[in-house]
Every structure is written in C-alpha cells, then in structure tokens.
Structure 1
Amino acid sequence: MNTFPTLATPRLHLRELQVTDAPVLFAIHADAASMRWYGVGPMTDLVQAHALIDTFAQWRTHPNPGTRWGLEHQGKLVGSCGLFKWNRAWNSCALSCELASAARGQGLMREALQAMLDWGFEHMQLHRVEALVHPQNTASHALLERLGFKAEGTLREAGFWNGQRHDLNVLGLLARECLDK
C-alpha cells in the first residue's frame, strides 16, 4: 500500500491525516468525556497529537500494518477511523474510531465505517474485523451492531487507562456478513 487509499461517501472525504490536522485531533482527544472509552487518557499537549499522526503514518509500513483515515465533512476534519493490527495470514484486523462531539448523531461515523469496511474486505481481502468496546459505551455498541457486528464475549480487565483496569467487549464482523447486507 504505497499510495494512500482515499475514500469518498456522499458526505465524507476519508483521507490521510496531515500535520495540519494536529490541532483538531488534539481537540477531539483532549475531551475527557469522549476519551473515557477510547483506551487512553485524554491528551494534554498538542505534541501528543503530532505523535499520534506520526504513529498512524507508520502503521502503513509496520509488520502488522494498518490504515487510519481522517474524516473530512464540509471541508473540516471531524474525526478518524482505521483498520489496524492486520494479520495477513489470518485475513483479520481490528477497528478503531473517534468523532468530535459536535459531529455526533448525524450518522457520519456509520457512513465512514461502512466505506472503510467495504474497502478492507475488498482490498485487504479481510475475512474478519473485530472491535474492542467498553461495556458502557452504548453508542459504539449500537453503531457496530447496525453495521452487522456480533457480540462475541468479554475480555476481563483487558484494558488499562486512567489508572484503572477495564473490561472490553469483543464484537466481530465476517466478510460474508458485511456482503450479505
């Protein structure tokens, strides 16, 4: 994957994150209420947003690569989503996403994730995509279920952030389930 795979939906442009996106990414990740489910504490410095953009860029050349898209709506970055921990031998990977609080409730993340999943199943030849979700993150559970993900179980105390251990629910989507829709 040398050329970044930009994607388009009716309302979104999914594109590579740029250094100039750091202030918006920082604002999203500094929101403590939003980040309570994300798996890390909220950002406290713009340098962390720059480091995150670098991390996402490195995913594409990592032994277990991934791709992270910036979600642009009406010319503005509103979040990101990605496929990562790509196990080519197993044709599987994990999903992650976040959305600015002002952009929630409009169906934007569902639109973005559907485009991303379609791309992953076709171009990465994925068989399975999984997501780890905090049990109390009802919005993410509902979104993933609308996309066809099935609840598979709970990983007890698998997460650790903000000084606490957290259970994480596993949801999975198989290629045939995505294509059956």
Structure 2
Amino acid sequence: MTTAFPTLETPRLLLREIGPDDAPALLAIHGDAEHMKWFGTDPISTLAQARALVETFAGWRRQPNPGTRWGLVRRDAPEAGLIGSCGLFAWNRGWRKCTLGYELARAACGQGLMHEALQAVLAWGHETMQLHRLEAQVHERNRASLALLQRLGFEHEGRLREVAWWGGQPHDLLMLARLAGSRLAGPPPAA
C-alpha cells in the first residue's frame, strides 16, 4: 500500500482520512446505542473513547496486515463533518482477501450513501490491494446491512456460531463474501 492516504470521491461523497477533529462525530455515531446495536461492539460514551477509535483506524495502516478506514463526508457540505465510515481491514496478502466494515449516522441512512461509498471502496480494494475475496460478518437481524451487501454482490456462505461478543453476550454472525468479478445483484437504491 502507498503511504499517502487514498482519498476517494463518488458523486455525492468524499472518502477521506479520519482525524482527531472527527472524534465528536464518531462519538455521536458510535454512541447511538439503538442505531448501532448490530455493529459488533458496545456503544462508546466518552470523547476519550472516540479519540481511541480514531487512533485504532489510523493504526490499521501501520500494522503488518493493514487496512484502511475512510471517513465519509458529503461533497456538497464537507464542513458538516463525518456522516459515517467504511473500510477494509485484516488484509491477508497471500490469500488476497480482506474484511469489510462500515457504519452510517442514523440521519444519513436510507439515501443510498453507503452503497455509493462501498462501490468505490470495493473497486479500490480490487485494484490497489489486488483483492480476490472480500468478507463481511453481519448479525442476522441487521436486515438493512444484509440487503446492502446483497446489492453489492455479496453471497451468504454460512453462520459463525458465537463468533462475536458485545452487550454482555455472544452473538452468531452470518458470513458473506464477494469475489473479484462479482456483479451487483440489483440497482442501487434511489438517491
């Protein structure tokens, strides 16, 4: 991977590096316990936890099996700040695979923004990282995320029993994957 952060653009979004100034927006997103109930971690409640999340995302690019996490901002209002993030992590270069993760602020949901962002991220992953396989693990009750992944060409492969732990209990997750050359399953949602 290159050392410069790979900024991406879509018709409505700028996907850019997440920085310290984004901590309040991350706190608002990751602190929304009801909206983030299927994200896979307990909600955060302090600015210090949000700053630690910024450092975690930055650290992905320094690890032996790095990843990249983009902050999503609207191109027509970048000053409004972060509306979500998405990224690729746990890169296994030898196997040419990576894991996909994402979240969006409640107010930005239902507008096709994450679909738009992930199309750019998936294309970048296939081109730049030479990925053949992209994986996503999703709770079966997260219907919106499952539908999004299906539209992006991900296929259900099975259930990972009690693979995750949050909210004081174990959770099963569904494993979905997309291979290089997969086609989108349907048109993106209307803008």
Classify the TM-score, shorter chain: over 0.9
Asked whether the 8 Å contact 2:153–2:185 carries over to 1, the reply is no
1:125 to 1:23, Cα distance in 2 relative to 1, 3 A: same
| In 1, Cα distance between equivalents of 2:62 and 2:168 | 31
Partner of 2:52: 51
Partner of 1:164: 169
**2:19 aligned with 1:18, yes or no?**
yes
User: What amino acid sits opposite 1:170 in the alignment?
Assistant: M
Partner of 1:88: 93
Pairwise CA distance, 1:150: 0.3
| In 2, Cα distance between equivalents of 1:176 and 1:148 | 9
The number of aligned residues is 181
RMSD: 1.4
User: What amino acid sits opposite 1:14 in the alignment?
Assistant: L
With normalisation by structure 2, the TM-score equals: 0.92
1:138 to 1:179, Cα distance in 2 relative to 1, 3 A: closer
User: What amino acid sits opposite 1:136 in the alignment?
Assistant: R
Once superposed, which parts of structure 1, at least 4 consecutive aligned residues long, lie more than 2 Å away? 178-181
Deviations 1:42-92 (A, max 9, x none): 101110110011011110010110000000012131000000000000000
Matched residues, percent identical?
A: 60
Pairwise CA distance, 1:18: 0.9
Unaligned runs of 5+ in 1: none
Equivalent position to 1:100, from 101, 105, 124: 105
